[in-house]
Amino acid sequence: MKKALVHDWFYTNAGGEKVVQSLTNVWSDFDFYTLVDTLNDKDRNDILKGAKTTTSFIQNIPTAKKNHRKFLQLFPLAIEGFDLSEYDVVISSSSAVAKGALTNQNQLHICYCHSPMRYAWNLYFDYLKSKSLMKGIKGWYAKRVLHKIRQWDVVSSNRVDFFVANSNYIAERIKKIYNREATVIYPPVDTDTFQLNVDKSDFYVAASRLVSYKKIELIIQAFNKLPNKKLVVIGEGPDKKKLQKIAEKNIKFKGKVSEEKMVELLQKAKALVFAADEDFGILPVEAQSCGTPVIAYRKGGLLETIIENKTGVFFDKQSELDIINAIRNFEEVEFSSEAIRQNALRFSRQRFEREIKEFVEEKTKQFFGEKKIF
């Protein structure tokens, strides 16, 4: 059977790309389609086993490789421009528009949904505020574009035969927005690389892309009021300079680090501090895989991966005071690094690859009958 894999864009090696990497571990004969592809050779080898991708016309627009998101209004047209008619099975890996790829009634389309488009739905007002688009002509245009995107997003959800969600939290969002049921298969976490370390150092770590919705600023403001506690911040992003300006001397910025360095820092950290409302949250599971507990916002996918007072502690509001109180509560709890890692093993790469293989093969037989083998 001919297979296509459609992914929103390839420009980094983050959670969505880890899913694609595992899919290529299970099936090695995909043809790949994406809006924009700027992967370096190492990431291409890791994620796609060195394969080339078919890209959309957005790839050739000047500046698109540096900032493809500013062409949001063109995404539906671009994803619908791929001719996938020769494929029996299409798998989309979607947090934006990949699930809107055009297929016909003779093709099976399975979508692994990381989330319905965040900036059009649950992060709509956060996005407008962070970009100063609540008022004015630019604000009016942005709202109009996102209104049209939401309409297209709901209509295009009907092109998917079966949805797979990365958490129960996202399955609920899919149900509310698309009125579709989704099977939950948690994404893969590389528990083999993120090995247990019981010897912890006296620093906390925060890591993510440095953008507003990740709430790194809140974590920094909390640690500004805890001068005797050390925080290491990992990541790059548009908010980096702003965050560096407000940070006190007990906070150090590491920028983008190698996977080896990330593993080392997570292994040695006293705890990972995580303040975002995450759909699943691979990083907190990677930390737990190292035997490192998590101080986390009590919302989203983290409620499915962290066991309170056993693998971490929660705080209820995204506020400085709540984070400070959570850190103080955390320091009163005794944690077992071995038990924390054991919890993380529930989300291993091997488990994901087994579950996704069984799901896709079952749906293939259901769709085509026994005549074709995936």
Shared domain for 240 and 184, answered yes or no, is no
The amino acid at residue 271 is A
CB neighbourhood size of 159 (10 A): 18
CB neighbourhood size of 135 (10 A): 9
pLDDT score recorded for residue 69: 81
Shared domain for 38 and 157, answered yes or no, is yes
Shared domain for 92 and 43, answered yes or no, is yes
Shared domain for 216 and 270, answered yes or no, is yes
Q: What secondary structure, in 3-state letters, does 185-252 show? A: CCCCECCCCCCCCCCCCCCEEEECCCCHHHCHHHHHHHHHCCCCCCEEEECCCCCHHHHHHHCCCCEE
pLDDT score recorded for residue 374: 59
Shared domain for 10 and 54, answered yes or no, is yes
Is the distance from CB of 81 to CB of 98 less than 8 angstroms? no
CB neighbourhood size of 365 (10 A): 14
Range of the domain at 322: 204-346
Phi and psi angles of residue 118, each rounded to the nearest 5 degrees, phi first: -60, -45
Q: What is the pLDDT averaged over residues 307-314? A: 98
Residue 95 lies in a domain: yes
Shared domain for 170 and 257, answered yes or no, is no
pLDDT score recorded for residue 45: 94
pLDDT score recorded for residue 161: 98
Beta-bridged to residue 63, according to DSSP, are none
Q: What is the pLDDT averaged over residues 275-299? A: 96
Residue 197 lies in a domain: no
Shared domain for 210 and 256, answered yes or no, is yes
Shared domain for 146 and 10, answered yes or no, is yes
Q: Is the confidence at residue 66, as pLDDT, over 90? A: no
Q: What is the pLDDT averaged over residues 171-178? A: 98
> Which pLDDT tens digit goes with each residue over 212-254?
889 999 999 999 999 999 999 999 988 999 999 999 999 999 9
Beta-bridged to residue 5, according to DSSP, are 32, 91
> Which pLDDT tens digit goes with each residue over 77-121?
999 999 999 999 999 999 999 999 999 999 999 999 999 998 899
Residue 199 lies in a domain: no
- Cα 81 to chain centroid, rounded: 25
Q: What is the pLDDT averaged over residues 157-164? A: 98
Q: Is the confidence at residue 37, as pLDDT, over 70? A: yes
CB neighbourhood size of 312 (10 A): 27
> Which pLDDT tens digit goes with each residue over 9-35?
999 888 899 999 999 999 999 999 999
Q: What is the pLDDT averaged over residues 283-307? A: 97
Which CATH number does the domain housing residue 68 bear? Answer: 3.40.50
Q: What is the pLDDT averaged over residues 135-150? A: 94
Phi-psi region of 47 (alpha: psi -120 to 50; beta: other; left: phi over 0): alpha
Q: Is the confidence at residue 50, as pLDDT, over 90? A: yes
How far apart are alpha carbons 29 and 3 in whole angstroms? 7
How does the average pLDDT of the chain come out, rounded?
95
Q: What is the pLDDT averaged over residues 193-203? A: 97
Q: Is the confidence at residue 372, as pLDDT, over 80? A: no
Residue 307 lies in a domain: yes
pLDDT score recorded for residue 27: 96
The amino acid at residue 351 is R
Least confident range of 4-8, 13-17, 297-301: 13-17
Shared domain for 209 and 67, answered yes or no, is no
Residue 280 lies in a domain: yes
Q: Is the confidence at residue 198, as pLDDT, over 70? A: yes
Shared domain for 20 and 114, answered yes or no, is yes
Shared domain for 332 and 353, answered yes or no, is no
pLDDT confidence of 188, banded at 50, 70, 90? very high
- Taking the model in full, what pTM does it have? 0.91
Residue 373 lies in a domain: no
Q: Is the confidence at residue 288, as pLDDT, over 70? A: yes
Instruction: Name the domain count of the chain.
Output: 2
Shared domain for 132 and 181, answered yes or no, is yes
pLDDT score recorded for residue 129: 87
